[in-house]
Amino acid sequence: MNYTIGIDIGTTGTKTLLIDEAGRIRASAVAGYKLMTPAPGWAEQDPAWWARAATTSVREVVESSGVDPAHVAGVSLSGQMHGLVALDAAGKVLCPAMLWCDQRTSAARAWIENTVGMDRYLRTVLNPPLEGFTAPKLIWLRNNKPGIYKKMASFALPKDYVRFRLTGALCTEESDAAGTALFDVANAQWAWDLMEPLGLDSSLFPAVRRSVDVAGTITARAARSTGLLQGTPVIAGGADNTCAAIGAGIIKQGRVSSSIGSSGVIFAHTDTVRTDPQARLHTFNHSAPGKWYLMGVMLGAGLSLKWFRDTFAQHEMDVEKRTGRDAYEQLSRLAEKAPPGAGGVRFLPYLNGERTPHKNPHARGVYFGISQGTQRSHMIRALFEGVTLGLKDSLDLIEDVAGFKVKEIRATGGGARSAFWRQMQADVFGRPVCTLNHDEGPAFGAALLAAAGAGLYPSITAAVNKTVKVRTTINPNMENHKKYLALQKTFRSLYRSLEPEFNTMEND
């Protein structure tokens, strides 16, 4: 029996899985780390934390599984998109990594748009250079940290940096490169014609592989720290969203996933390049070779719930410490006590700005409609509803742009673990919501990429068809769906009314 390992470099921790050829999970491990916010709108991490978490968790799954390392056919990685790791000529990290949720780059974004022109930019990249993307981070670094920028010989995305530490080979792959906003998505290459007007040296840009390509092998040093054999193939891997989609079987046009983790993602596979003329959706390269996807992203999905837990749910956290009963599940049970519509309370989940559909880094979270009769359960339910309604904004846009009706949504991420939230998604979307035979997120998709890249399967499609199955289907309550359609109008109207205030508040 052969095995593969998938490593997901997430925002709050790294998750590693060891699976067999049939897709059965033989061992898993998680290693956490913190998020640094040294200034409002900033979000940073030390890349060394990711590398340490990866090696520690790989060693743990190898040892706990009892698998002979000689039978590990390959390793692959998934990771948070858009992050910037600045490296010198020796591969040394020059400063903390700027993450996907970092919003400090508004001036750099405006400079890019004015310098290149949005029409030209979108023709090549198909996506705007939003604040969280890598392109404005490079410009910000050049403008604000010139000493560091002058020392920079290359840059890496988060999972690519970890792969570099495991193999000594620095490269990226199509799905993650697409999220830099410096990639020619249709032709799967760097957008070389934009480098001159942006003043970016082509030598900074790593080689681009396909997600299923072998990108390197485990070095002697990495073998000692992970317990793997030197020479074990390391497959290029993919962005967290594409790996999560592969793990959910989203490799066929018409299939859509709803992923609720720190961010929220609606992901739709497409066989051809499709774009939103207003650039509210992202068009990126899939980790399935020669395919693409449309994606809507909410920046503060699970992060909104985490904020509420950390700020207002000390009681639930204390109960979790005493009894082991998950604080999030306690909050879910409280929310379930409130009726649909949360007693008139509305929540806008824009704690860190918003990407889809508003493209507004200045947007902020709002509770609206609180009265003397408002109870804690209303506040919690309103938060769940606000996040889910924000995801429906993306779903509606995808159907308009893709030109097909979504019939089935596959739930993934932390939100998929809550029966209450799965039912709410079905009710808000008005579509069946499915769960799968596993709930392991991007790490599982990365392990499947390793299986395909190492030759255990002839293609990623074959790997998915063998290992990913629908387990349950939740049908929508159509009465609740009608209520949510009406609530969605209020949800959207609130944003439009407050948008001028968001933008003014940012300048105060």
Q: How far apart are CA 139 and CA 200, in angstroms?
A: 9
Per-residue pLDDT of the chain (508 residues; tens, 9 = 90+): 999 999 999 999 999 999 999 999 999 999 999 999 999 889 999 999 999 999 999 999 999 999 999 999 999 999 999 999 999 999 999 999 999 989 899 999 999 999 999 999 999 999 999 899 999 999 999 999 999 999 999 999 999 999 999 999 999 999 999 999 999 999 999 999 999 999 999 999 999 999 999 999 999 999 999 999 999 999 999 999 899 999 999 999 888 999 898 889 999 999 999 999 999 999 999 999 999 999 998 989 999 999 999 999 999 999 999 999 999 999 999 999 999 999 999 999 999 899 899 989 899 999 999 999 999 999 999 999 999 999 999 999 999 999 888 988 999 888 888 999 999 999 999 999 999 998 888 999 999 999 999 999 999 999 999 999 999 999 999 999 999 999 999 999 999 999 999 988 754 4
Tally of helices (H runs) and strands (E runs) in the chain: 18, 23
Cβ 483 vs Cβ 341: under 8 Å:
yes
Helix (H) or strand (E) holding 94: none
Angle formed by the axes of helices 419-429 and 376-402, nearest 10°: 50
Residues in contact with 466: Cβ distance below 8 Å, sequence separation at least 6, in sequence order: 22, 23, 457
| Active-site option among 20, 160, 240, 393 | 240
Residues in contact with 58: Cβ distance below 8 Å, sequence separation at least 6, in sequence order: 5, 7, 16, 29, 75, 226, 227, 228
Give the chain's domains with CATH numbers: 3-248+443-470 (3.30.420.40), 265-271+275-439+477-505 (3.30.420.40)
pLDDT value at residue 506: 54
Nearest to 426 by CA among 487, 373, 484: 484
Token representation of residue 472:
């349950």
C-beta atoms surrounding 422 within 10 Å: 21
Strand pairing class (154-156; 366-368): unpaired
Q: How far apart are CA 269 and CA 242, in angstroms?
A: 9
Q: How far apart are CA 457 and CA 451, in angstroms?
A: 6
pLDDT value at residue 405: 86
pLDDT value at residue 508: 44
Helix (H, G, I), strand (E, B) or coil at 196: helix
Q: How far apart are CA 275 and CA 283, in angstroms?
A: 6
Cβ 274 vs Cβ 294: under 8 Å:
yes
Q: How far apart are CA 493 and CA 484, in angstroms?
A: 14
Distances (CA, A) of 2 to 18, 153, 467, 472, 480: 10, 38, 15, 29, 47
DSSP secondary structure code for residue 99 in this structure: P
Whether a cis peptide bond, with omega within 30° of 0, leads into 339 is: no
Token representation of residue 31:
């290693």
pLDDT value at residue 441: 82
Q: To the nearest 10°, report the CA torsion of 221, 226, 229, 231.
A: -60
The answer to whether the predicted template modeling score (pTM) of the entire model surpasses 0.85 is yes
Q: How far apart are CA 264 and CA 389, in angstroms?
A: 11
Q: How far apart are CA 420 and CA 285, in angstroms?
A: 33
Catalytic (active site) residue 240 = yes
Q: How far apart are CA 402 and CA 273, in angstroms?
A: 9
Distances (CA, A) of 334 to 218, 378, 380, 415, 506: 48, 9, 7, 16, 34
Cβ 5 vs Cβ 76: under 8 Å:
yes
Q: How far apart are CA 240 and CA 158, in angstroms?
A: 11
Token representation of residue 467:
């290992």
Cβ 411 vs Cβ 255: under 8 Å:
no
Residues in contact with 499: Cβ distance below 8 Å, sequence separation at least 6, in sequence order: 358, 360, 363
C-alpha gyration radius of the chain: 22
- Match 């604040």 to its residue by tokens: 131
